[in-house]
Amino acid sequence: MFKLLFFIKSIKLIGFFIIINTIFANFTDFYVQIYIRIIIREKHNHRYINLKFLYYISRKTSIMIYKFKTLYRHIIEEERKIPEATGQLSDLLADIALACKVISLEVNRAGLIDILGFTGTKNIQGEKVKKLDVYANDILTYSMQMGGHICAVCSEEEVTFIPIKEIYEDKVLHNKYVCHFDPLDGSSNIDANISIGTIFSIYKRLSTHGPGTIEDCLQQGIKQIAAGYVVYGSSTILVYTAGKGVHGFTLDPSVGEFLLSHENMKIPKKSKIFSVNEGNYEKWSEGTKRYIDYLKQNDKSTGRPYSGRYVGSLVADFHRNLLYGGIFMYPADKNSKHGKLRLMYEANPLSFIAEQAGGRSSDGKTRILDIIPETLHQRTPLFIGSKEDVKQAEKFISEYD
């Protein structure tokens, strides 16, 4: 009986200190010095509770409660800063997050179910389609169609865009947006258990009503209103921007929510990391070759040589460089004169994120977000990452190409 009473009193004290710590959060250095013993008398025994220990528990609990901010809560808080916001963009981002949770679940158990390997078909890019590619594409497409906020869906896996009707189950929808996505970037690494991801971007429609048109889908990257990506790795993390900073959220499997883990992310202006497939070296232009050679030279005054870090999964390489700084490059070469990465599905969304985080992105000569797209599956060279590093690459290309 005494042990039960002792436990209840201890819990009450912990709760008391959680409240106190929350109120006086700015004075934690002072409260850390508190060391009090409370004597609880029970019959002839004296029980001592070390309040320093109780404070420590309350402090940890308070931090955990303070940091508990979900993706949707964060989106809503940002939406409230815009008086004319209708909430449709918030709901659309929530639809995308939900679809990515489902994809994450399947990625994590892909080896246990019949979802690895190829389907036996090829996509519009001429690449062999993997089963998980198809699954991710279907989940995202269905989520966009059912959400009621999209007039057109554009997927890297589809030949053309999918127009969405304004009427669903006799209800008139006011779909204001167009969504582009690469459902599973780096899918060639699926069977090797290497990090892969989903990339998405959102535009406002240009047409006034009805299903979306090709003009709605072919807009410059600078007109994006939101973009993001999800990395499926040791943990699942969603990074997005709506034009006011870049924020990262890690999926907590125990509660099934993306929780804020990286607020207002900034990429270092200069780094010591470069990411590129050097196996293509002989196919590159002279400017690209000279830049790579420059990065590998020994010169302490300029922080060289750089370290090479290349996963082979765009979203994984970009995420690492966003956190630690670096430049990712996929130049044009003799075999792919217009580059290999897709402008609408990969380069534009990641470039929007990079610039919002203080970075830079170009095709070696032109800012990616300024490129006027001509086709949905248009390709482009890509130099993206830390601002000073991308500028240096542009300088070499301008001088030698």
* Residue range 120-152, pLDDT digits in tens: 455 555 555 568 888 899 999 999 888 889 999
342 and 182 in contact (C-beta within 8 Å)?
A: yes
3-state secondary structure of 397: helix
pLDDT at 82: 81
Domain ranges of the chain: 2-66, 71-262, 273-400
pTM of the model: 0.80
Confidence of residue 373 (pLDDT cuts 50, 70, 90): very high
pLDDT at 316 over 90: yes
The CB density around residue 389, as the number of other CB atoms within 10 Å, is 30
What would the CATH number be for the domain defined by 273-400? 3.40.190.80
- Range with lowest mean pLDDT among 23-27, 78-82, 137-141, 169-173: 23-27
More reliable by pLDDT, 369 or 173: 369
pLDDT exceeds cutoff 90 at 39: no
Task: Answer whether residue 162 shows pLDDT above 90.
Answer: yes
β-pairing, 273-275 vs 327-330, is parallel
CB contact at 8 A, 348 and 179: no
CATH top class, domain 71-262: alpha beta
Nearest CA among 192, 198, 216 for reference residue 206: 216
CA nearest to 269, candidates 315, 306, 229, 324: 324
The dihedral through the CA atoms of 203, 206, 210, 214 has a sign that is negative
pLDDT at 81 over 70: yes
Identify the residue whose tokens are 């921007």: 241
What single letter denotes the amino acid at residue 31? Answer: Y
Sign of the torsion angle spanned by Cα atoms 291, 292, 294, 295: positive
